[in-house]
Amino acid sequence: MREVAQYIRSLDPRLKMVAALLLGPAIWLLPPFVLGIMTILLFPIVVALTASQPLGSKMLRSILSFLVFWVILKSTLDGLSGVPIDMIVVDSGILGLRLACLILLGLSLALSTSARSLGLAISWAITPFVGRERGWKVALSLALVVHFLPQCLSTMNRVQETTSRRCPDFGFFRRMTIIPQAALRGLGQKTWNQTLAIAGRRLDDAEGWQPDFVWSSRDTLCSVVLISCLISFLILTNLP
Mind listing the pLDDT tens digit for each residue in 90-140? 888 888 888 888 888 888 887 888 878 888 888 888 888 877 777 778 878
Q: For residue 54, what pLDDT is reported?
A: 60
Same-domain check for residues 9 and 100: yes
- 3-class secondary-structure state, position 17: helix
CB atoms within 10 A of CB 157: 17
Q: Which of 57, 83, 113 is a domain's end point?
A: 113
Same-domain check for residues 98 and 167: no
Q: Is residue 185 part of a domain?
A: yes
Q: For residue 55, what pLDDT is reported?
A: 59
Q: Is residue 165 part of a domain?
A: yes
What's the structural domain count of the chain?
Answer: 2
Same-domain check for residues 122 and 199: yes
Same-domain check for residues 7 and 101: yes
Rounded to whole angstroms, the Cα distance separating 92 from 94 reads 5
**Which residue range is the domain that position 47 belongs to?**
1-113
Task: Render pLDDT for 54-95 as a digit per residue (tens, 0 to 9).
Answer: 655 666 777 778 788 888 888 888 888 887 888 888 888 888
Q: Exposed, middle or buried: residue 231 (CB in 10 Å: 0-12, 13-18, 19+)?
A: exposed
Same-domain check for residues 135 and 183: yes
Same-domain check for residues 73 and 121: no
Same-domain check for residues 101 and 38: yes
Q: Is residue 205 part of a domain?
A: yes
Q: Does the pLDDT value for residue 175 go beyond 70?
A: yes
Same-domain check for residues 6 and 104: yes
Q: Is residue 220 part of a domain?
A: no
Q: Is residue 228 part of a domain?
A: no
Same-domain check for residues 129 and 76: no
- Please measure the distance between the N-terminal and C-terminal CA atoms of the chain and give it in whole angstroms: 39
Asked if residue 65 lies in contact with residue 153, where contact means CB atoms within 8 angstroms, the answer is: no
Give pTM, 2 decimals.
0.75
Same-domain check for residues 1 and 95: yes
Same-domain check for residues 82 and 127: no
Q: Which of 113, 131, 149 is a domain's end point?
A: 113
Q: Is residue 100 part of a domain?
A: yes
Please report how many Cα atoms fall inside a 13 Å half-sphere around the Cα of residue 207, on the Cβ side.
Answer: 3
Q: Is residue 223 part of a domain?
A: no
- The phi and psi torsions of 84 (rounded to 5 degrees) equal -60, 150
Share of the chain above pLDDT 90, in %: 0
Residues counted in the chain: 240
- The phi and psi torsions of 131 (rounded to 5 degrees) equal 95, 160
Between residues 236 and 72, the one the model is more confident about: 72
pLDDT-based confidence at residue 182 (cuts at 50, 70, 90): confident
